[in-house]
Structure 1
Amino acid sequence: MNAHRITVEHTLYTLALLVALLTRLLNLGSTPLSDSEAGQALQAWQVAVGQPADVGPQSAYVVLTGGLFMLLGSSEALARLWPALAGALLVLTPFLFRRLLGNKAALLLAFGLALDPWLVAMSRVADGPMMALGFGLFGLGLAFVWLPSLAGIFIGLALLCGLPAVPGLLGLTLAWLAGRLLARGRPLFPGNGTQASDAEPNDRQFAWKTVLLSVGFTLLLVGTMFGRLPNGLNGWIESLPIYLVGWTRFSGLPALRLMVAIPSYQPLGLLFGLAAVAGAWLPSEREIGSRIAVLRWISLWWIIALVLAAFYPSRQPGDLVWTVIPLWCLAAVWLSNFTHLNREACLVSLGQAALIFTLLVVTWLNLAAGGFILPGLQANLVRLATLAGLLSLAGLTTLLVALGWSWDSARRGLVWGLTASLGLYVLANTWTIPRINADQWRPARQELWSTLPIPGDADLFVSTLGDLAEWSTGRRDGIDIVVAVDSPSLHWVLRDFPRVRYVEEGEINSITGGLASGELPSILVTRLSGQAPQLSAAYRGQDFSWWSLPDLNSALPPDYLHWIVFRDTPVTSEQIVLWARSDLFLGDSLVSPEGTE
């Protein structure tokens, strides 16, 4: 009876799950879909409405999101729902591995994954990386606790994510091989506070056949949408060849930008993760305890995942999610050793932690104010000098506590102070993500995880088009439109207009020039740079900012210290023009492009 009662640990995991759902679902549909997101969402929409769909390598996203569109209709929020749910599911994975990591470390890891800015951001993107990560690791966790049927289902869903799952699967495989090589025939995770049979199931005892059957049925049923989409697996089969071709093509995303993203968004995980790596490979480090084999393998996984993300030429921001998990695992195990409380030493450590927290807050305020006091290089020099001075003062405080009380008290106070201050920074970064959407997307705010380019005026464009259609036909989707812009995000916002026609950008002159005035399309959409001069005779035009990109001449923002506080950089925008035929407006007569009424 007592084995199934709700404990404090269960309550805390539930709280972590609720936090994960809040940060991932709040204002989920407020930001327009970028071109990369819209390309995936359009495939799902085509599946939902029964149009011929060329399903790409991300079958899981297309099929599952297409099912949502069938039931509830299409929207930006529903296009991002499955990645958000998979990201929240990731928070429960530490609970399944708590025997391997330790109860305290697993609980710390759950909250770290719930609040990590990069994971939250990627969970709010209509794409497959977070689905591959969340479903895959949850499936491995189910296998670890001996639930082979469920494990096979989630592993199958992860594999169906296609291209985003390849680097994760490759990294885990290489890490497992490296761990086996270093173990030299011994169990990969010996000891760790459990029986060897509990920590690492025996290959002969575990129901691998059940897992493989579940994986196969999941691939077949979900990949073909239970028979409704026979070609659903065609694109998925090409995932590995596409990944290999990516080693010969550059995506345009510098590797340095991804590497800088780690300390910019996960300073807490990076600092204590590196401490755990050092402790894992230095046997004298007593904080690691009996979990040295686990940490050594996780450190190998992190290094391999980092190398794959950095050196893959076709890298994308989503590739970095595979490095976040092992980094947080390392940090959580290391931090779990500083949760033991001693009443007398605790007061000293709390006082030291409060002082360090105050010093780091003052450091942050100086970073924020430096750009307003002095310009350019002088401001950066002042910031760096202030930072060095305050950090030196924090180090001196730790040394004095160690000399006056004990090294354990000083180290505990240092860790608590750094955890509180860096944790507040991580929390602020995380909360900013849904708040950006609530305040409408600001083009000047440049995050390193952004799936650029993002259409800035999409909502205004659709609203204007709907008003013109309602004025002309009585229906907000009843007007005829000719679009001479090739953009997935534009195709997405026009998906509910049945009378839309897409042409090549160079064909707009021939379409309008050869028609009589009464046969001209009611609406034309062109690029601002590609507009035809004669259109002004028969049409009225309004430009809309559509593609907004950071104006970066290097891998990083021009003033990194300023960016780390305010996240703003110069931005360049490209506009499209909505041309409305003149007779749609009250009191205007129609003039053809040649000037004949």
Structure 2
Amino acid sequence: MTVAERPVAARISLLEWLTVERAAYGGLLLFAGLWRALQLGLFPLTRDEVRQALTAWDAAQGHAVTLWGLSPLLFTLQEATFFLAQAGDAMARLWPLIAGLAICLIPYLLRRQIGRDVALLTAAFLALSPTLTYFARQGTGDVMAAAAALAAWALILAASEDARRVSWAAVALALGLISGPGIYTALLAWGLASVLWAREEVAARWREWQDRGQIRRAAMIGGLVFLLGATSGLRHWDGVGAAAGLLGQWAERWARPETGYPFYWPWLRVLLDEPLLLAFGIYGAVLGIRRGDRLTKVLALWAGLALIWPTLTPGRRPEDLVMAIPPLAILAGQGGIAYWKRLHLRHVRAEAGLVIAILGALSVTLYVWISGYSYWGTREYVAAMLAPLGLMVGLVLFFGFWAGWRTTGQALVLFLAALGLLWTLSVGWINAHGMDMDRRPAVRFERTSTEVRWLASYLERLSAQRVGDPHLLPVEVMDSPWAPMLRWYLRRMAYVTVIGAPLRGETAPVVITPMMEELAPGEAYSGQDFLIAERWSPAGLRGHNLVRWLLLRQGKTPAEEERAIVWVMREEMSEE
């Protein structure tokens, strides 16, 4: 009797546990997983990704490596992954992808502090974020640092009610300190917030945890996690120096020369990629600051500092923006729920739904004419754009006088929110998945060409023809900024050597040089060039060309190309 009842009891307890809220989190996690994992290895690794992955792969092969300038935590995870499984582009991006999924669940820890509805909407914003989607598909430690920072902050807040959470917060903080330099932006924001608004409370809480022995326990646990994660299980002790070097990388943003990204690039990316998040985030920040909510002030300081930092520093990089997304998402969640509670649906009559539908149809028409202008740039398209735009303005004014401005404002906000959601999904897809040869890079100026994979396939076929095995043909690669890229994609070749320069009387079967380098014994070799990477910037775009890039990420201006020449010894010479 008891045995028969156990499965029933288990099913009942599972149904009781699986609430609508938890099912919603599961749905968001499933969406984020499909959205971010789709075609994860479709595009080649960037230079930053290759530097990280190649070092981990060399270590997995038993070679001596140095971790300086890398994410120690990502190196540890990649080395273990490459040792246990086959290395590849998708596998190099696996752990940032997992961090990009985990960050969507962290708001669940903040339900008591910000509310269940706000936490769920925050998770939705994090799952939809084009910025997080893009960098979760990059084999760098930036999203891992953002996820660790959000987890540490959530656990510190939870520790005010349960002191046992202090140790978990120390673990999250330790993981952040060995993930990426962005963690120091969050630490600076938290430190400033503590001094400005909670100095006495933080000091009192610290003394309380210290008296209970929680600080000592957290320091020991966090230190152990830091040490094991930074040194790859105590096997690469220079990982401790690399972890300390993350602070240097963060501070070096002030000392580096201009990286090519203009000062307005972070704000432009937020406006283009995260308009919905930014609008509701500003609304939530204003409401919270007006009522004196200290939590909102901390979040606003965190988000503002994370946006201002890459704006002011000459060494700014696109990944610096990642640390601004978690606090912005929480603020947007607060703003979205606050507006929803103010929204009186009974006042939004059926006519409002009709107005929203008409505005949607006119928006499609406007988009068609704008797309036409982006291609041709003629005055006729400008005149055609004014027609639906004028009708939209007239419709809003008419409905405002007829149905009341409150109802009109609510209908207009709902329409803009729906439009912002569609734009967010479109941008997220184009930035992360749609970087084909007809589209220019959106987030980064530089991207790796798919021809680098063709180069590797070409040499494997050549090796099979010359020596009977696709991986045994000796290859020499001339040292250059792109040599690590070539080494990564030629990692299956057994005999790849990096040389300073080709020697006179070169006898290697294959030599790879930059485009401008010519082999001395040119008669013995024939060369074929491959595009390795290209760099393109929207600087200089005007008029319809700028509109075309904003809408479709297409640009007609030429890109700077980095090419390599594969010099192959003629078969008759190699036989001699």
| Short-chain TM bin | 0.7 to 0.9
Residue identity in the other structure for 1:325:
P
Counterpart of 2:505 in structure 1 is 514
Shift of 1:354: 3.0
Residue identity opposite 1:435 in structure 2: H
Task: Indicate the residue corresponding to 1:464 in structure 2.
Answer: 458
Structure 1 residues 464 and 105: alpha-carbon distance in aligned structure 2, compared to 1, 3 A threshold: same
SS at match of 1:91: coil
1:528 is the counterpart of 2:529: no
Partners of 2:44 and 2:114 in 1: CA distance: 40
Q: Secondary structure at the match of 2:253?
A: helix
When residues 465 and 572 of structure 1 are mapped into structure 2, their CA distance, relative to the original with a 3 A threshold, is same
Residue 417 of structure 1 aligns with an amino acid whose one-letter code is F
Quick one: distance in 2 between partners of 1:558 and 1:261? 19
1:39: Cα distance to partner?
Answer: 0.8
The one-character-per-residue Cα deviations of 1:380-434 (angstroms, maximum 9, x if unpaired) are: 955885686366346425623xx62572x33332221111111011011223345
Which letter maps to 2:116?
A: N
Query: Would you say 1:111 and 2:124 are equivalent positions?
Result: yes
**Corresponding residue for residue 93 of structure 2:** 80
Please state if 1:404 is matched with 2:422: no
- Per-residue CA distance 1:85-105 (angstroms, 9 max, x = gap): 111111012111122222222
Corresponding residue number in structure 1 for 2:530: 544
Task: Report the more deviating stretch, 225-234 or 264-273.
Answer: 225-234
Alignment correspondent of 2:6: none
C-alpha distance in structure 2 between counterparts of 1:30 and 1:427, whole Å = 19
1:3-22 equivalences in 2 (<5 Å): 5-22=17-34
Q: Deviations 1:236-255 (Å, cap 9, x if unpaired)?
A: 22222333233111222212
The range that moved more, 482-491 or 552-561, is: 552-561
Tell me the residue number matched to 2:190.
172
Amino acid at match of 1:256: Y
Indicate how the Cα distance of structure 1 residues 153 and 455 shifts in structure 2: closer, same or farther if over 3 A, else same.
Answer: same
Over 3 Å counting, the alpha-carbon distance change for 1:368 and 1:590 in structure 2 is same
- The amino acid that maps onto 2:509 is S
Aligned pair count reads 548
Task: Tell whether the 8 Å contact from 1:557 to 1:563 is kept in structure 2 after alignment.
Answer: no
**Shift in Å at residue 18 of structure 1?**
1.0
Q: Which SS does the other structure have where 2:563 is aligned?
A: strand
Residue 455 of structure 1 deviates from its aligned partner by: 3.0
Alpha-carbon distance in 1 for matches of 2:336, 2:565: 55
Q: Residue in 1 aligned with 2:251?
A: 244
Paired letter, 2:474: D
Counterpart AA for 1:524: V
Structure 2 SS opposite 1:246: coil
1:147-166 correspondence to structure 2 within 5 Å: 147-166=165-184
Mapped partners of 2:206, 2:380: distance in 1: 60
Contact 2:510–2:567, Cα closer than 8 Å, also in 1: yes
Pick one of 357, 368, 374 that aligns with 1:365: 368
Distance 2:390 2:471 in 1: 63
**Does the Cα contact within 8 Å between 1:258 and 1:448 map onto a contact in 2?**
no
Instruction: Look up the match of 2:227.
Output: 220
Where does 1:222-371 land on structure 2 (aligned, <5 Å)?
222-250=229-257, 251-281=259-289, 283=290, 292-340=293-341, 342-343=345-346, 345=348, 347-371=350-374
Specify the alignment match of 1:416 in structure 2.
Answer: 414
Identity %: 24
Aligned to 1:501: 497
Alignment partner, residue 145 of structure 1: 158
Pairwise CA distance, 1:14: 0.7
Q: Does 1:474 align with 2:468?
A: yes
Partner of 1:561: 547
Q: Which of residues 355, 364, 377 is equivalent to 1:374?
A: 377
Specify whether residues 61 and 371 from structure 1 end up closer, same or farther in structure 2 by C-alpha distance, changes over 3 A only: same
1:443 Cα deviation from its structure 2 partner: 4.1
Distance (Å, rounded) in 2 between the aligned partners of 1:112 and 1:161: 23
Using the TM superposition, give the Cα deviation of residue 203 of structure 1 relative to its aligned residue in structure 2, in angstroms. Answer: 6.0
Residues 303 and 324, structure 2, Cα contact 8 Å, conserved in 1: yes
Q: Is the 8 A contact 1:135 1:154 kept in 2?
A: yes
Decide whether aligned partners of structure 1 residues 548 and 387 sit closer, same or farther in structure 2, where only a CA change above 3 A counts: farther
Quote the residue 1:580 is aligned against: 568
Q: Which residue identity is paired with 2:444?
A: S
Unaligned runs of 5+ in 2: 1-12, 160-164
Distance 1:386 1:268 in 2: 26
RMSD: 3.0
Could you tell me how far apart the structure 2 residues matched to 1:213 and 1:239 are? 22
Distance 1:180 1:502, change over 3 A: same
Higher relative contact order (CA 8 A, sep 6+): 1
**In structure 2, do the counterparts of structure 1 residues 222 and 551 end up closer, same or farther at CA, with 3 Å as the change threshold?**
closer
1:133 positional shift: 0.5
- The AA in structure 1 aligned to 2:573 is L
Where in structure 2 are the equivalents of 1:186-197 lying within 5 Å?
none
Letter in 1 for 2:377: L
User: Cα distance 1:553–1:485, how it changes in 2: closer, same or farther (>3 A)?
Assistant: farther
Per-residue Cα deviation, 1:348-376 (whole angstroms, up to 9, x for no partner) = 5434433443343333223212234534x
